Amino acid sequence: MADAIKLEIVTPSRMLFSDSVEMVVIPGSEGEFGVLPRHAPTLANLQRGALNVYNNGTVTRRFLIEGGVADVLPERVIVLAERAVDLDAVSTQNLDEQLVNATEAEAAFVNAAKEAV
């Protein structure tokens, strides 16, 4: 990977992802936006949607996030999400188990994740 930017995805309960990536596409409240190394500093509100991580020109990881903010700096992106799930590491069975005790807002997020898996 020639140029890379550090990406961290953090929820209130844990750090979900931390690694260097080639590019990340983030679901901002004003629409999706891509972040490459040396991006201008930006602070953006987020909405529910897919966050795609790119390496070697292809999507290598997919996350569903909901709410929060993205703090973009030239060398690092920190995504502070209200909720997030790694779509490449979760099964529909795991999501069904989460639905059992979910609040209405959590259930809507889990159902969106099931559709994306």
* pLDDT tens digits, 25-48: 999 999 999 999 999 999 999 999
In a domain, 84, yes or no: yes
Q: Domain holding 45: CATH number? A: 2.60.15.10
pLDDT score of 56 more than 90: yes
Q: What mean pLDDT is reported for the chain?
A: 91
* pTM of the complete model: 0.85
In a domain, 62, yes or no: yes
In a domain, 113, yes or no: no
The range of the structural domain enclosing residue 38 comes to: 5-90
Calculate what percentage of the chain has a pLDDT beyond 70. 98
For residues 105 and 98, what is the distance between their CA atoms, to the nearest angstrom? 12
- Judge whether 62 and 84 are in contact, CB under 8 Å: no
In a domain, 68, yes or no: yes
Q: pLDDT tens across 74-99, in order?
A: 999 999 999 999 998 887 787 877 77
Q: Please count the structural domains in the chain.
A: 1
